[in-house]
């Protein structure tokens, strides 16, 4: 029981989750004059990018066979976020990632940038606030229940945005969701930061591509054969804004019994944390012993939590198909674009399938639930097939989805419509007026 009285509040838009999606959605809706409340279970924004330490903004640049100069093709709210990060010295210049580029961010600067943007937009933010249930009356979602240290907060909202990454609100409302390919999701990764690295020697030995060369993979395989716990051989190591540091995206977390782990299963999520910490030590040892420049390195920290790539997808009015990604499909109701490859984390080597000199668009219907009014959802839990998620989930796109959600919330409020009644084309036009440049 909880004997404390339930506090009640009323807003135009409730945003659950302060990842890239939630921050962009909340700022966009609040700037349009709506009363917006953002609730976030941690004490800071950033989600997978910060708590999960994913560490880079992928999805900004075109992929090319012989990439020489980064060509940014995704715009909008992300540009503002980049400016805020640059002002805090929290973003590297573009670094090579295979056939494209990415920018490494500093997680503290990410938190500060989000705080500043939310404050200047006038968003009311509650940290350490966990959404535990939704108000559902027939098909109408009218807000949510939020648990804080003061007790239960009953939030009534004209529009609720599920930016939890896990489609938590859809699941709570009993709306349809699914997990990966027949329940199997991409593996989690515990990201960590290695300090004390001689980065000049490291770069001289391995080149400037953040995807490590095949020779490093071969040495990992040899170590595996000697019995070391290094289950992933294709790894990514990034220099960062801090001297002497590498951001290490290299672990592949499985259960002790070899099963794939899904973070919406409590036992799996817990085991992923323990296995993740263990594997970090094994990779850090390997780097110290095997990689030039890393001889005197040590683990500075891991993510606050294991990095979760995929859990539930919400069932939307539209579904982004694997074929849409591969074909670079465009659509009149496209509200976000992505040039990012399919980057599927399953098995020993992540599979990367490039989309060269092209991009695809994500239709508005991928964020509108197939049932349920007064509700939008987005981010990595968008309505998409398994391999499409492996492309569509990265950070630049999550900023775009969030901006689209904020714009849709604004138009729905102004025109007194339910989100599903809005034409995606209208959302697209409004996004272009806000600098998304979807028609260029
Ligand atoms: C290991 C790993 C490596 C990655 N590498 C990269 C990379 O290099 N570059 C890149 O661009 N992308 C990368 N990604 C992808 C990217 O980080 C995520 O897909 C992206 O951050 C998702 O954003 P989101 O807003 O959809 O969700 P999230 O970032 O997951 O945000 C959801 C937020 O909601 C909060 N929340 C969840 N449930 C509740 C609740 N019930 N109540 C209140 N709050 C709640 C969470 O705490 C979180 O802050 C990586 C992801 C992982 C896991």
pLDDT of residue 349: 78
pLDDT of residue 181: 87
Mean pLDDT by 10 residues, the chain (440 residues): 96 98 99 98 98 97 94 98 98 96 97 98 98 98 98 98 98 97 90 98 96 96 95 96 97 93 96 97 98 98 96 98 95 98 82 92 98 98 96 97 98 97 98 97
pLDDT of residue 352: 86
314 lines ligand 1 (CB under 6 A): no
**What is the Å distance from ligand 1's center to 144 Cα?**
21
Question: Using CA atoms, how far apart are residues 123 and 147, in angstroms rounded to an integer?
Answer: 19
Which atom of ligand 1 is the closest one to the Cα of 397? 11
**What is the Å distance from ligand 1's center to 35 Cα?**
24
Question: Using CA atoms, how far apart are residues 52 and 41, in angstroms rounded to an integer?
Answer: 14
143 lines ligand 1 (CB under 6 A): no
**What is the Å distance from ligand 1's center to 150 Cα?**
26
Question: Using CA atoms, how far apart are residues 146 and 162, in angstroms rounded to an integer?
Answer: 13
Write phi, then psi, for 409 (nearest 5 degrees).
Answer: -60, -40
pLDDT of residue 353: 87
Ligand 1, atom 34: nearest CA belongs to which residue? 17
Q: Which bin fits 131, alpha (ψ -120 to 50), beta or left (φ > 0)?
A: beta
Pocket probe for ligand 1: among 14, 17, 145, the residue whose CB has the most ligand atoms within 8 Å is: 17
- The secondary element (H helix, E strand) that includes residue 153 is strand 151-162
341 lines ligand 1 (CB under 6 A): no
166 lines ligand 1 (CB under 6 A): yes
Number of continuous H segments (helices) and E segments (strands) in the chain: 11, 20
pLDDT of residue 305: 98
162 lines ligand 1 (CB under 6 A): no
pLDDT of residue 211: 95
Which two three-digit tokens encode residue 59?
Answer: 């999805």
**What is the Å distance from ligand 1's center to 393 Cα?**
9
Pocket probe for ligand 1: among 20, 28, 41, 48, the residue whose CB has the most ligand atoms within 8 Å is: 48
130 lines ligand 1 (CB under 6 A): yes
Q: Which bin fits 55, alpha (ψ -120 to 50), beta or left (φ > 0)?
A: left
Contacts 24+ apart (CB under 8 A), 415-419: 418/373, 418/374, 419/159, 419/368, 419/373, 419/374, 419/375, 419/376
Decide: helix, strand or coil at residue 51.
coil
Instruction: For 342-398, give the secondary structure using H, E and C.
Output: EEECCCCCCEEECCECCCEEEEHHHHCECCCECEEECCCCCCECHHHHHHHCCHHHH
**Whole-Å CA distances, 280 to 203, 271, 284, 298, 382:** 21, 14, 6, 11, 30
**What is the Å distance from ligand 1's center to 414 Cα?**
30
- Angle at CA 107, nearest 5°, toward 38 and 339? 85
Q: Which residue in 337, 340, 342 sits closest to 353, CA to CA?
A: 342
57 lines ligand 1 (CB under 6 A): yes
16 lines ligand 1 (CB under 6 A): yes
Pocket probe for ligand 1: among 26, 45, 49, the residue whose CB has the most ligand atoms within 8 Å is: 49
| CA neighbours closer than 13 Å in the CB half-sphere of residue 170 | 31
Question: Using CA atoms, how far apart are residues 84 and 91, in angstroms rounded to an integer?
Answer: 9
Pocket probe for ligand 1: among 21, 47, 118, the residue whose CB has the most ligand atoms within 8 Å is: 47
Tell me the pLDDT tens digit for each residue of 213-270. Answer: 999 999 999 999 999 999 999 999 999 999 999 999 999 999 999 899 999 999 999 9
Contacts 24+ apart (CB under 8 A), 216-223: 216/291, 217/349, 219/290, 220/286, 223/286, 223/290
The pTM of this model reads: 0.97
58 lines ligand 1 (CB under 6 A): yes
C-alpha dihedral, 252 to 255 to 259 to 265, nearest 10°: -100
Which atom of ligand 1 is the closest one to the Cα of 396? 11
Under 8 Å between Cβ of 91 and 109 = yes
Report the relative pairing of strands 36-39 and 124-126 from DSSP bridges: parallel
């Amino acid at each position: 029981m909880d004997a404390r009285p339930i506090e009640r509040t009323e807003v135009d838009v409730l945003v659950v989750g302060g990842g890239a999606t939630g921050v962009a959605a909340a700022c966009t809706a609040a700037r349009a004059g709506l009363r917006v409340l953002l609730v976030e279970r941690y004490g800071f924004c950033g989600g997978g990018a910060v708590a999960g330490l994913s560490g880079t903004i992928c999805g900004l640049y075109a992929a090319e066979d012989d990439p020489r100069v980064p060509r940014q093709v995704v715009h909008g709210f992300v540009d503002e976020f980049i400016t805020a990060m640059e002002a805090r010295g929290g973003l590297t210049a573009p670094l090579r990632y295979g056939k494209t580029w990415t920018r490494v961010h500093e997680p503290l600067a990410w938190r500060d940038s989000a705080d500043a943007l939310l404050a200047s937009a006038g968003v009311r933010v509650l940290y350490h606030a966990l959404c535990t249930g939704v108000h559902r009356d027939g098909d109408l979602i009218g807000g949510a229940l939020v648990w804080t240290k003061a007790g239960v907060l009953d939030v009534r909202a004209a529009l609720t945005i599920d930016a939890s990454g896990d489609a938590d609100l859809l699941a709570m409302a009993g709306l349809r969701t699914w997990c990966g390919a027949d329940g199997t999701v991409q593996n989690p990764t515990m990201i960590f930061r290695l300090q004390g690295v001689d980065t000049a020697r490291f770069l001289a030995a391995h080149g400037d591509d953040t995807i490590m060369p095949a020779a490093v993979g071969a040495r990992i395989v040899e170590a595996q054969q000697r019995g070391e716990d290094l289950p992933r051989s294709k790894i990514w190591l990034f220099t960062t804004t801090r001297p002497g540091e590498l951001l290490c995206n290299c672990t592949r977390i499985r259960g002790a019994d070899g099963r794939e782990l899904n973070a919406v299963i409590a036992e799996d999520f817990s085991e992923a944390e323990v296995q993740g910490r263990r594997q970090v030590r094994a990779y850090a040892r390997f780097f110290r012993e095997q990689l030039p420049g890393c001889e005197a390195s040590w683990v500075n920290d891991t993510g606050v939590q294991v990095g979760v790539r995929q859990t539930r997808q919400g069932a939307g009015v539209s579904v982004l198909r694997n074929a849409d990604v591969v074909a670079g499909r465009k659509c009149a109701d496209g509200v976000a674009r992505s040039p990012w490859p399919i980057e599927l984390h399953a098995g020993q080597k992540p599979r990367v399938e490039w989309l060269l000199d092209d991009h695809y668009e994500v239709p508005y219907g991928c964020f509108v639930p197939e049932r349920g009014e007064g509700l939008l959802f987005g981010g990595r839990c968008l309505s998409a097939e398994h391999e499409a998620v492996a492309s569509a989930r990265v950070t630049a796109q999550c900023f775009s989805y969030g901006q689209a959600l904020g714009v849709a919330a604004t138009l729905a409020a102004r025109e007194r419509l339910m989100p599903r009644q809005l034409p995606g084309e209208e959302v697209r036009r409004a996004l272009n007026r806000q600098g998304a440049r979807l028609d260029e």
